[in-house]
Structure 1
Amino acid sequence: MKMTSIKMKKILDERLAGPEYKTSYKRDEDSYRIEWKETGQGITIKLPNVVAKYNQRGDAAVDELEDHILEALRIMNEEHNLSGMEKHIYPVIRATSFAMETNAGEKLVHKEHTAETRVYYALDLGKSYRLIDESLLVKEGWTEERIDQIASFNVRSLENDYKKDTVAENEFYFVAKQDGYDASRILNEAFLEEMAANAKGELAVAVPHQDVLILADIQNKTGYDILAQMTMKFFAEGRIPITSLPFIYEDKKLDPVFILAKNRPEKNEKG
């Protein structure tokens, strides 16, 4: 039996039934929304995406979606504090196209990073996290500088274990701890300096998506081509894509580069 958006809506209605929730369906947008009756806070799901996942993975895809929805609703309905939670505040890397405010219109705390990336801050809640907005800072009486200092300290405390692969005499290192902060490790300057000190050639770094940090010891022209292909592949497959452009790490700076086939990269003029 072929799954349709209407059938998927009925499945979600059954799974998410509860007196505290209100659900709605917009036929013209093919979207499904569930929200708290009391506050109107909630999330909107594009049903064609869910149907596609269901056709690939069956009930497991709906199970996973249900978990994500209930976790998101739980977080929305909680009162969050920063004081006493300092050890659970981390930086997260996002593309510069990422939203700068929440759906409710609250400005997200952030700082510029490179021409391709921006740093946001997350309060880790275990199975998920909440991006920190300015209203939370105001409530706590915290400054953006304080959030940045705490988050920077915490990212340095994360383990930097990696897997290594050698291709055409170039060495590639992959940090993929699946803790939500793999790409964030690009902000650990001590780690980058250590990798640069041990590199035989030029150190390149890439954050194609949230759940991986790629470091490359580029020792010949072929290495740039391999890195470009690798970064593009990871970018296309990532759950939260960031950028398909790698960076050259030089003099404690990250310069986005366009990699030209068989050539050394040209630095992005914006970098």
Structure 2
Amino acid sequence: MEKLTVLKVKRLLEEKLAHSNWMITYDREKESLRVEDKETGKGITIALQGVLSKYEQTNDMKAIDEYVYYVREALTSMKMPIQLNGSERHIYPVIRSTSFPTSSNDVPLIYDEHTAETRIYYAVDLGKSYKLIDENLLEKENLSKSTIKEMAMFNVRSLPINVKEDIVAGNTFYFVRSNDGYDASRILNESFLESFKKQVIGSMTVAVPHQDVLILADIQNDVGYDILAELTMSFFVNGKIPITALSFLYEEGTLEPIFILGKDNKKER
């Protein structure tokens, strides 16, 4: 297969996303592609280097097609009329990096601080995608932020949790991957974290490298921290919506970032 470059990824995406109602612009300096709906002016910016990196790791054109699907669904959902009243069971929290924008098209998004690395945003589930809730939507629906938060937290606690287990070098790793868009959000289910904590023998760690995975681990030796760091970074690099490559220690109901310094097995909290 022909070796891909950023410019070849650009051309592929331009071909696959060609649409009479969409405008595509290229930022040479940032190596990004912006796809906007001509009618609404809303759009998605794609970091081409990120797409290329994912392709190189999988060597599969499905990596390109995944981004195309994501952009199409996002642009379609932006034009859908959204109602919060009557959608109470479809409001969920979503975890994002602290570098994620706090506004969309100059309208403040509804969010809460979570950890030094993460924030909690709130979204309306639309089936194949979701829309982040902003202040305009709250005002239009005459709802308070606290009401939205209460609905979202109730709904995330109601989601099923399927866990896969893997033991490496005496450490046990658990993966929550339902692929429903809210795997990382399950980190907000405190009763789940507490029940997991009761079965941990060593140190309990939690990671949300990207939106579609929650990693919990029972770290019982120093090698476990190195494995955790490599594992989390791998998921972080491969995720469509990366959050953080750092992991957290879970102690007494709090999440504290841990910095793993490499093969000398040192760590900082």
TM category (shorter chain) comes to 0.7 to 0.9
With over 3 angstroms needed to count, the CA separation of the structure-2 counterparts of 1:171 and 1:62, relative to structure 1, is closer
> Residues of 2 paired with 1:28 and 1:244: CA distance?
27
SS in 1 for 2:198: helix
Tell me how far 1:89 sits from its aligned partner: 0.8
> Residues of 2 paired with 1:166 and 1:27: CA distance?
45
SS in 1 for 2:159: coil
Corresponding residue of 2:187: 186
- 1:144 partnered with 2:145: yes
SS in 2 for 1:123: strand
Listed as ranges, the gaps of 5+ residues in structure 1 are: none
SS in 2 for 1:204: strand
> Residues of 2 paired with 1:121 and 1:131: CA distance?
6
The alignment yields a C-alpha RMSD, in angstroms, of 3.0
With over 3 angstroms needed to count, the CA separation of the structure-2 counterparts of 1:262 and 1:159, relative to structure 1, is farther
Provide, for residues 141-192 of structure 1, a one-character-per-residue CA deviation record: whole Å limited to 9, x for no partner: 1111111111111111111111111122211111111111111111000000
Corresponding residue of 1:41: 42
SS in 2 for 1:84: coil
Listed as ranges, the gaps of 5+ residues in structure 2 are: none
Corresponding residue of 1:134: 135
Provide, for residues 12-43 of structure 1, a one-character-per-residue CA deviation record: whole Å limited to 9, x for no partner: 4686444xx15354575676555444333334
**Which of 76, 79, 91 is the aligned partner of 2:78?**
76
Identity %: 52
SS in 1 for 2:151: helix
Tell me how far 1:242 sits from its aligned partner: 1.2
> Residues of 1 paired with 2:224 and 2:110: CA distance?
37
SS in 1 for 2:81: coil
Query: Aligned pairs, how many?
Result: 263
> Residues of 2 paired with 1:153 and 1:108: CA distance?
20
SS in 1 for 2:242: coil
Amino acid of the residue matched to residue 203 of structure 2? E
Summarize the alignment of residues 97-246 of structure 1 with structure 2, pairs less than 5 Å apart.
Answer: 97-102=99-104, 104-246=105-247
SS in 2 for 1:231: helix
- 1:249 partnered with 2:261: no
